[in-house]
Amino acid sequence: MIGDLFYFLSSLPLLRWGEKPPMTYADFLAKCREALGDGKADWLAKVSLTLDNAPTTALAARWQERETFLRNVLAEMRASRRRQNAERWLRPTPLLSSGERKRIENAMSQATTWRREEALDHLRWQYLDDLSVGYAFDTTTLEIYAMRLRLLEKQHSRQAEPGQEAFAAMVAAGVEQAAQPDVRTAEA
């Protein structure tokens, strides 16, 4: 398996932040099953960027700790804007990092929701860079690759055109509604 994993990881296309993913996650899983054999790659189907499941690997546990910290900072920022106490939205995490907090605050200072989400995902990508130190050609490296692929898929699933079309439709409906006579004044 070690030799298979070494060769397989070496054969995967390089993932770069901001670029289109070279394959879908489903294609990646199929390649994993083909290269590593059935059963040896099934755990990769459970790799997730969210906090839905209990972590099954050490990397997933560290990822969830960091993601919980990120979400706690976001909850604190939202609560602060509303002048509320954030305690009820916070989840326990051992992480405390003023530097990371500042990076999250900088990401949230972006002008649009789209840019803020992109900046937060870039922080996630950079955290995966941090987690990859000390690992080479092992299952942790494969898991990091899987998470990066998920991030790229997430990033590239956001499309401006459908949003612009929905916005244009709402504006057109509003203009049409404004052009109609007011029923209340016509009856009076």
pLDDT digits (tens, 9 = 90+) for 3-23: 678 889 999 999 999 999 999
Domain membership of residue 96 (yes or no) is: yes
DSSP annotation of 82: T
The answer to whether the beta carbons of residues 20 and 156 sit under 8 Å apart is: yes
The pTM for the full model equals 0.80
pLDDT at position 112 is 93
Domain membership of residue 185 (yes or no) is: no
Question: What distances in angstroms separate CA 98 from CA 61, 72, 102, 133, 145, one per listed residue?
Answer: 21, 13, 6, 22, 28
Domain that holds residue 145: 2-160
Domain membership of residue 186 (yes or no) is: no
Domain membership of residue 56 (yes or no) is: yes
Greater model confidence, 29 or 136: 29
The answer to whether the beta carbons of residues 71 and 36 sit under 8 Å apart is: no
pLDDT at position 55 is 86
The answer to whether the beta carbons of residues 134 and 50 sit under 8 Å apart is: no
Residue type at 135? Y
pLDDT at position 2 is 54
**How far is Cα 48 from Cα 60, in angstroms, rounded to an integer?**
8
Burial class (CB in 10 A: 0-12, 13-18, 19+), 149: buried
**Per-residue model confidence as pLDDT tens digits over 87-146:** 999 988 888 888 999 999 999 999 999 999 999 999 999 999 999 988 888 899 999 999
178 has pLDDT over 60: yes
Angle value at C-alpha 72, between 70 and 78, nearest 5 degrees: 105
The answer to whether the beta carbons of residues 15 and 152 sit under 8 Å apart is: yes
Greater model confidence, 53 or 129: 129
**Per-residue model confidence as pLDDT tens digits over 165-177:** 787 888 888 888 8
Which of the four pLDDT bands, split at 50, 70 and 90, describes residue 69?
Answer: very high
Number of domains making up the chain: 1
pLDDT at position 184 is 65
Domain membership of residue 174 (yes or no) is: no
Domain membership of residue 187 (yes or no) is: no
Percent of the chain exceeding pLDDT 90 equals: 56
Domain membership of residue 140 (yes or no) is: yes
**Per-residue DSSP letters for 25-76?**
HHHHHHHHHHHH-TTTSGGGGG--SSSSS---SHHHHHHHHHHHHHHHHHHH
Which residues lie below 8 Å from residue 49, measured CB to CB, with a gap of 6+?
Answer: 63, 67, 124, 147, 150, 151, 154
Question: In whole numbers, what is the pLDDT of the chain averaged over residues?
Answer: 88
Domain membership of residue 170 (yes or no) is: no
Question: What distances in angstroms separate CA 41 from CA 2, 4, 62, one per listed residue?
Answer: 13, 12, 21
